[in-house]
Amino acid sequence: MKDSTVNKVLDYPRNAWYVAAWDHEVNRNILSRTVAGRPLAIYRTEDGQPVALADACWHRLAPLSMGKLVGRDGIQCPYHGIRYNSAGRCISMPAQETINPSATVPSFPVVERFRFVWVWVGDPTLAEPSLVPDMSQMDAAGWTGDGLTIEVACNYQLVLDNLMDLTHEEFLHGSSIGQEELSESDFVTSHTDTTVTVERWMLDIAPPPFWLKNMRDRFPGFEGNVDRWQIIHFEAPSTICIDVGVAKAGTGAPQGDRSQGVNGYVMNTITPERDRSCHYFWSFQRNYRLESQLITTQLRDGVSRVFKEDEDMLIAQQAAIDANPDYEFYSLNIDSGGMWVRRLIERRLEAEGLLPAAPVAAIAS
Amino acid sequence: MAASNSEVWQRGRIVESRALTPRIRRIVIEPSLPVKVVPGAHVDVRIRVAGEDDRRSYSIVDATADGRRIALSVLDSPRSRGGAAVMHGLREGDEIELTQPLVDFPLRIGARRYVLLAGGIGITAVSAMAVTLAAVRSDYTLVYVGRSRSEMAYVGELQALHGDRLVLHVGDEGTPLDVRALVGAIEDDTELYLCGPIRLMDAVRRAWVDAGLDAPNLRFETFGNSGWFDPQEFVVRVPALGLEATVGPNTSMLEALEAAGADMMYDCRKGECGLCEVLVLDLDGAIDHRDVFYSEREKNATGKMCCCVSRVVTQGATPVVTIQTT
């Protein structure tokens, strides 16, 4: 009998910064979005500060996101007109001259960074802005790019599994970035308390179509083999930035000289919505041809087509998991990155009391 | 702070009961269904007073990080409605029924500055807030007001925890609180959290309005158990129901009406929501408004009262109020 160590539907830590929205999605209209199981009403004050309130009025729990913004920083419930400020404190009630002292809705800590609005739905006393995962390529000088959001009907962990092992590119993305050298090449996995890294180099290979096009954007008319890299950086609980690129074969990229290549960063941060759904925010950033909006759009659309193949697979995988509740997961050697991710997340869940501590090994009787 | 207010009842075992002052006891409880406690939380405790099941609310003064031990502190005063005597009678090993922590007075993290103001036993509602604000390195002042140091619980502990951020005002030491001066020095984006007797609450509310400060930044909790006057016995008449009841000094008008058979509407039972409002048809005495539902203007009009907390008083004979219920 198998003693399974792999959670098929993983819970999510609450004490974490999750992306609630792109910066441009947060404005003077109210956005309704669920983050880590908590429905939120998200908007921006007239002063430009992002706000995330619980999307349920104190009075009868009507969704505030159906209401309207009032004054400099307030919101009005659509049902009985109760108004709150951005701190979640009631500022007026209908048909009475006073305000009930207990009338508040939770206002969750929010940070705007790396083109995203991040929210912390757990213990607010732990919400240190310095804990926002590093996605600096999103808006650092010398980088440009753009991305989209995918609403995926699967447990967020399946997306993390997907991104931590890129061997699947060979099979799922054969027409764009896949090639057989992916599963033939070695990779190196390492980890810390909060990060996991998987590094893979493929030397002197023919570039797949996506990378040949990128090389020609930078080196018009380029022909020949390349050295290709994928360095996957995971930061707990659910951000993965992948350093990807190719350089002319033998020009020293593995030793650190990438001047004869093209470099991108696939920025991914996965926000659990509920147990079987997530908001997958991604962007493809690059550090060459910064002036070309054409390339930005081409890359965004190209990656978007690739990710549609992932999305279809993830939805089908979740459906198969749910249709086979009595079957367990088994693991392959290529899962080492994904398995470290699971372990780091499970440790956080244990610390939050959301996962029973791993049982001690059963004693044979 | 996500405040969950689902009422979950559980058992609790008393593991400590000791006197902090001649009238205040610290009672430490091990609940059977422990949960993490957030600042501003209270528990409701089931008690029996005069043969009747009843409940009282007590702030959680402090708790272990896992919530397996929570501490209450209970003042026994002549105005107590019987709960304090029951609570003071508890001893190590006794069991009680209580709710999991409830939060009607959540501390919001993230204000630029805080003033926590406690009058007397009101320290129980704000001391955990002060600990949290210290832990997240917020800018806060804890102002603690009392009549005499011998009646003020936790002064030594608070001094050790908060140093210069603790400001004491002690009546018999000649350092009473000047409410106007305190409120006058408060800046726009300061949140004030207040728990204390109604005289202090009313004075702060009035000063807050006069100073033109933002009403939502004044936050307070009242369990509806203090008034401008000592409670005295009074008579309530409800002609439409052909009913008359005597309200003893240790029961509420709402309880007396329910005991007399009136089908009363209510919700919070602590003077906040206004659902228990009755119309005053005739009054022989004065209303001691103990609620926070009516504005100053409405209280002066004397046409209505919140019967869950408010009372009627006179100088001489038994006061009488004639009312109409909903």
pLDDT > 70 fraction of chain A, expressed in percent and rounded: 96
Give Cβ neighbours of residue B296 (< 8 Å, ≥ 6 apart). B206
Chain B closest-CA separation from residue A106 CA (Å) = 5
Q: Report the DSSP pairing between strands B140-146 and B113-119.
A: parallel
- Say yes or no for a CB contact (<8 Å) between B221 and A96: no
Q: What is the pLDDT of residues A18-62, one digit of tens each?
A: 999 999 999 999 999 999 999 999 999 999 999 999 999 999 999
- The full DSSP string for A25-75 is G-SSSPEEEEETTEEEEEEE-TTS-EEEEESS-TTT---GGGSEEETTTEE
Interfacial residues of A (vs B; Cβ cutoff 8 Å): 38, 54, 85, 87-91, 96-102, 104, 106-109, 121, 123-125, 127
Q: What is the pLDDT along chain B (326 residues), one digit of tens a residue?
A: 334 678 999 999 999 999 999 999 999 999 999 999 999 999 999 998 878 888 899 999 999 999 999 999 999 987 777 889 999 999 999 999 999 999 989 999 999 999 999 999 999 999 999 999 999 999 999 999 999 999 999 999 999 999 999 999 999 999 999 999 999 999 989 999 999 998 899 899 999 999 999 989 999 987 776 788 988 999 999 999 999 999 998 889 999 999 999 999 999 988 999 999 999 999 999 999 999 999 888 988 889 999 999 999 998 889 999 999 98
Residue B54: the pLDDT is 85
Residue A8: the pLDDT is 86
**CB atoms closer than 10 angstroms to residue B148:** 11
In B, which residues are within 8 Å of A104 by CB distance?
Answer: 3, 106, 108
- The SS3 of residue A280 is strand
Q: Which residue of A has its CA nearest to B35?
A: A353
Residue B60: the pLDDT is 97
B137 interfacial to chain A (CB closer than 8 Å): no
- Say yes or no for a CB contact (<8 Å) between B294 and A97: yes
Burial A187-215 (b: 16+ CB within 10 A, else e): bebebeeebbbbbbbbeebebbebbbbbb
B216 interfacial to chain A (CB closer than 8 Å): yes
In A, which residues are within 8 Å of B2 by CB distance?
Answer: 38, 54, 106, 108, 121
For chain B, the three-class secondary structure string (H helix, E strand, C coil) is CCCCCCCCEEEEEEEEEEECCCCEEEEEEEECCCCCCCCCEEEEEEEEECCEEEEEEEECCEECCCCCCEEEEEECCCCCCCHHHHHHHCCCCCEEEEECCEECCCCCCCCCEEEEEEEHHHHHHHHHHHHHHHHCCCCEEEEEEECCHHHCCCHHHHHHHHHHHEEEEEHHHCCCCCHHHHHHCCCCCEEEEEECCHHHHHHHHHHHHHCCCCHHHEEECCCCCCCCCCCCCEEEEEHHHCEEEEECCCCCHHHHHHHCCCCCCCCCCCCCCCCCEEEEEEEECEEECCCCCCCHHHHHHCCEEECCCCEEECCCCCCEEEEECC
Hey, what CATH class is A25-32+39-112 in?
Answer: mainly beta
Q: Which residues of chain B are in CATH 3.40.50.80 domains?
A: 113-220
Q: Which sequence spans correspond to the domains of chain A?
A: 25-32+39-112, 131-351
Quote the CATH superfamily of domain B9-103. Translation factors (2.40.30.10)
* Cα–Cα distance measured from residue A202 to residue A197, given in angstroms and rounded to the nearest whole number: 17
Whether the bond into A207 is cis, omega within 30 of 0: no
Instruction: Give the CA count within 13 Å in the CB-facing half-sphere of A10.
Output: 30
Torsion of CA A155, A156, A158, A160, to 10 degrees: -170
Helices (H) and strands (E) in chain A, counts: 6, 18
Q: Which residues of chain B are in CATH 2.40.30.10 domains?
A: 9-103
| Residues in chain A with pLDDT values less than 70 | 1-5, 356-365
**Where does residue B137 fall: left (phi above 0), alpha (psi -120 to 50 degrees), or beta otherwise?**
left
Chain A closest-CA separation from residue B301 CA (Å) = 13
Torsion of CA B60, B61, B63, B68, to 10 degrees: -40
Go through chain A and tell me how many residues it has: 365
Nearest to B201 by CA among B230, B168, B224, B181: B224
Chain A closest-CA separation from residue B84 CA (Å) = 24
Q: What is the ipTM of this complex?
A: 0.87
Measured in degrees and rounded to the nearest 5, phi and psi for residue A29 equal -105, 155
B293 interfacial to chain A (CB closer than 8 Å): yes
CA A180 to chain centre: 27
> What is the biggest distance separating any 2 CA atoms in chain A, rounded to whole angstroms?
78
Alpha helices in chain A (DSSP H): 156-164, 169-172, 181-184, 209-218, 293-323, 336-351
Alpha helices in A94-248 (DSSP H): 156-164, 169-172, 181-184, 209-218
Residue B145 and residue B118 in contact, taking contact as beta carbons nearer than 8 Å? yes
Chain B closest-CA separation from residue A109 CA (Å) = 8
Chain B closest-CA separation from residue A219 CA (Å) = 51
> What is the biggest distance separating any 2 CA atoms in chain B, rounded to whole angstroms?
60
* Cα–Cα distance measured from residue B169 to residue B149, given in angstroms and rounded to the nearest whole number: 9
Chain B closest-CA separation from residue A181 CA (Å) = 50
Of A87, A90, A121, the CB nearest to B108: A87
Radius of gyration of chain B (CA): 20
Residue A174: the pLDDT is 81
Of A54, A101, A107, the CB nearest to B108: A107
Instruction: Give the CA count within 13 Å in the CB-facing half-sphere of B294.
Output: 22
Give Cβ neighbours of residue A273 (< 8 Å, ≥ 6 apart). A33, A34, A35, A36, A37, A151, A279
Chain B closest-CA separation from residue A88 CA (Å) = 9
To which residue do tokens 């159906």 refer?
A: A66
In B, which residues are within 8 Å of A57 by CB distance?
Answer: none
Q: Which residues of chain B are in CATH 3.10.20.30 domains?
A: 234-324
Q: Report the DSSP pairing between strands B234-238 and B320-324.
A: parallel
Chain A interface test: which of B192, B213, B219, B221 (most A C-beta within 10 Å)? B219
Of A38, A100, A124, the CB nearest to B1: A124
- Say yes or no for a CB contact (<8 Å) between A109 and B222: no
* Token digits of residue B5: 């207010």
- A&B contacts, CB < 8 Å: 67
Both ends of chain A: CA-CA distance in Å? 15
- Give the DSSP letter of residue A102: T
Chain A interface test: which of B107, B109, B129 (most A C-beta within 10 Å)? B109
Of A87, A91, A101, the CB nearest to B272: A101
Hey, what CATH class is B234-324 in?
Answer: alpha beta
* Cα–Cα distance measured from residue A222 to residue A212, given in angstroms and rounded to the nearest whole number: 8
Fold of domain A131-351 = Naphthalene 1,2-dioxygenase Alpha Subunit; Chain A, domain 1 (3.90.380)
CATH for B113-220, options being 3.40.50.80, 3.40.50.2300, 3.40.50.10490, 3.40.630.10 = 3.40.50.80
* Token digits of residue B218: 């004044």
Of B109, B110, B295, the CB nearest to A98: B295
Q: What is the pLDDT of residues B193-247, one digit of tens each?
A: 999 998 899 899 999 999 999 989 999 987 776 788 988 999 999 999 999 999 9
Q: Which residue of B has its CA nearest to A110?
A: B110
Q: What is the residue type of A328?
A: E
Of B272, B297, B298, the CB nearest to A102: B272
* Cα–Cα distance measured from residue A35 to residue A271, given in angstroms and rounded to the nearest whole number: 7
